[in-house]
Structure 1
Amino acid sequence: MVSARRSGARRSSHPVAAVFLVAVAVVVLSPLAFAVVASLRTDAEVAADPLGWPSTPAWGNYGRAAEAMGYGRAVLNTLVVTGGAAVLTVLAGSLCAWALTRHVRRWTGALYQVFVAGLTVPVFVVLTPVYLLLRDLGLINTHLGAVLAHAALNLPFAVFFYCGFLRAVPVELEEAAVLDGCSTPRLFTAVVFPLLRPATATMAVFVVLAVWNDLIVSMLVLDDETLRPVTPAAYALVGPYGFEPSTLFPAVVLAAAPLVAVFLALQRHIVAGITAGAGR
């Protein structure tokens, strides 16, 4: 009798959960849907009725927006910065976390706390020191400078994330490899790093999302318009006195399209990596 009541309660809660999920999806997708619809309208139509539908889809808006923002060059710049930052963050974060969790010393606990404290520091606090450091190194307006800046800002979370994952990995696997004569570099590349594959997939997705959608750091480090990623390139279409909707909204859609396409294509692998990382 009790089990029947519980199963009935679970069945009755399903419609409520479904309605809640649909409402959340509508709220999340509404800005993207508005941008897509507005990108197919003329400036006059948007001014007359901002929430209306296009009388005739203006597909030519996308061509003009791509030309105005230098879309091909901007995407290439984004791929270089995003890929470099993801690789550097994953390598540095996993190596640092491995050292902190496996080679414990008196100072490793304090160093770990420093990385954790880095998660609480707002990005605006470190923008000036990062800019001055890159300027003194001659890395302003270079892809390398942008890669280093993004990797440094994402490193505290990477260390925190990998440390939590490594604490659940049996240390006996590494000890057995050492007894077999495995050197330290090979121990990491052949034993430890493959075990971190689920965490690495999750971390790489996090960094790619953060760097692709970044505006502030990219505008600070990459002032040259020929080096701008897609997000600053789209923002550059906003003038001091306004913007043209027929250019800005297509640029926003074009900036987000590659990231959405990659996420849809790899969503199974992304979810599997997040689930495996959480399961540990």
Structure 2
Amino acid sequence: MTITAPRTRPASPVAADTAPLRRRRLRGIASHTGLLLVTLIVIAPILLMVKVSLQSDADVAAHPLSWPAHWNLHNYVAAIRAMNYGRSLYNTVLITGGAALLVMLTGSLAAWPMSRISRRWTKTVYQLFVAGLTVPVFVMITPLYMFMRDLQLLDTFASVILAEAAISLPFAVLFFTSFLKSVPVELEEAAAIDGAGPLRTYWHVILPVLRPATATLAITLTLAVWNDLVIPLVLLTSDSKQTMTLDVYSTIGTHAYSTSQLLPTVVLGTAPLLVVFVALQRHIVAGITAGVSKG
């Protein structure tokens, strides 16, 4: 009498095919959940700031995290009047725009030859620009003040624009040089064959190629110059030339501050930055993608 072992049934091909699909779905759900949690962690302080800015000090003290029973827009009306918001916005946009344009123009002009000429002096100049990134701004305050004083530019927008541009120029040169090294030289050679000189090649070839990198650099410079407090605080003294950060700083008392006065000014000061970021978001993503693909 022979005993035969029971035959094992082969695994179903349908079950074998659905297992990797189920794992991919679980990984997708986990990644989306993680991104959602990170997004909530990032925007939670912003939402809390906006909520508290619409409450009175007594309401915040009584219910710091609860939904406000009464929305108080008087805080923003008082902040706009105290800041002279239109004047502060104009001053900050003028300084930020002027510094950004100056940095992007001079940075691209300096980065172009350093990315094409392989000489000892170009490497030395490039290293000097990179070394400028390591100098803290507080070390340059006194020399900048004395330099602007000798030029009789104290308490002028030009002094702040030139100082902000000088501080941001090393990063722009480093950024543009790295980007241009990945751009083929044949584009410039073709322009030279067509009879284009250096300035025409720069205007019609280099600047269009740098457009994605320029958009990415523009938002970085805007954030840095817009939020800077030290340079305007040292070089500007007139009330009519105050920037957003100086107006926000003026609401902070020596020993205490009022949330109904401080937070509305913070929201009003950062709202234009949010508009700029949303407007340039597509170009920023294109610049990062172009840099990655070229690298």
TM-score bracket relative to the smaller structure: over 0.9
Is the contact made by 1:41 and 1:53 (CA closer than 8 Å) also made in structure 2? no
Give the aligned partner of residue 126 of structure 2.
112
Structure 2 residue 110 is the aligned partner of structure 1 residue 96: yes
1:233 Cα deviation from its structure 2 partner? 1.0
1:145 and 2:159 matched: yes
What whole-Å deviation, never above 9, does each CA across 1:107-158 have from its counterpart, x for those lacking one? 1101111111222222222222222222222222111111111111111111
* Higher mean displacement: 231-240 or 159-168: 231-240
Once the two structures are TM-superposed, the CA of residue 21 in structure 1 deviates from its matched residue by 1.5
**Residues in 1 aligned to 2:213 and 2:268: alpha-carbon distance in whole angstroms:** 30
Higher mean alpha-carbon deviation, 187-196 vs 257-266, is at 257-266
- 2:34 is aligned with 1:16: no
Tell me which residue corresponds to 1:31.
45
Distance 1:135 1:52, change over 3 A: farther
Where 2:129 maps in the other structure, the secondary structure is helix
1:214 and 1:231 in contact (8 A); partners too: yes
Q: Which amino acid aligns with 1:50?
A: P
SS of the residue corresponding to residue 261 of structure 1 reads helix
Q: Please, which of 235, 246, 253 is the counterpart of residue 221 of structure 1?
A: 235
What is the CA RMSD across the aligned residues, in angstroms? 2.0
Identity of aligned residues (%): 48
What per-residue deviation string (whole Å, max 9, x for no partner) do you get for residues 11-48 of structure 1? 32222222221222122212211110011111211233
TM-score using structure 2 length: 0.88
Whole-angstrom CA distance in 2 between matches of 1:83 and 1:26? 32
Tell which deviates more after alignment, 77-86 or 17-26: 17-26
- Say yes or no: does 1:122 pair with 2:128: no
Q: Which amino acid aligns with 2:78?
A: R
Q: CA deviation at 1:178?
A: 1.7
Give CA-to-partner distance per residue, 1:248-279, whole Å, 9 cap, x none: 11111111111112322332233223322332
Distance 1:19 1:59 in 2: 35
Go from structure 1 to structure 2 and tell me whether the alpha carbon gap of 1:10 and 1:223 turns closer, same or farther (over 3 Å shift). Answer: farther
Distance in 2, Cα, partners of 1:8 & 1:151: 54
Equivalent pairs, count: 280
Partner of 1:176: 190
Matched, 1:247 2:261: yes
Per mean C-alpha deviation after superposition, the further-off stretch among 138-147 and 58-67 is 138-147
Query: Contact 1:225–1:233 (CA<8 Å) still a contact in 2?
Result: no
What is the aligned counterpart of 2:97 among 83, 101, 105?
83
> Residues 184 and 28 of structure 1: is their aligned pair in 2 closer, same or farther, counting only changes over 3 Å?
same
Aligned to 1:138, the other structure's residue is in SS state: coil
Of 52, 70, 81 in structure 1, the residue corresponding to residue 84 of structure 2 is: 70
With structure 1 as the length reference, what TM-score do the two structures score? 0.92
**Cα separation, 2, equivalents of 1:31 and 1:254:** 16
Q: 1:168: Cα distance to partner?
A: 0.9
Q: Structure 1 residue 8: deviation in Å?
A: 4.7
Deviation at 1:6, TM superposition (A): 5.7
* Worse overlay, 163-172 or 20-29: 20-29
1:5–1:216 Cα change, 3 Å: farther
Tell whether 2:201 aligns with 1:161. no
Considering only CA atoms, is the larger Rg found in Structure 1 or Structure 2? 2
Distance (Å, rounded) in 2 between the aligned partners of 1:256 and 1:97: 32
Larger RCO, structure (CA 8 Å, separation 6 or more): 1
Structure 2 residue runs of 5 or longer lacking an equivalent are 1-12
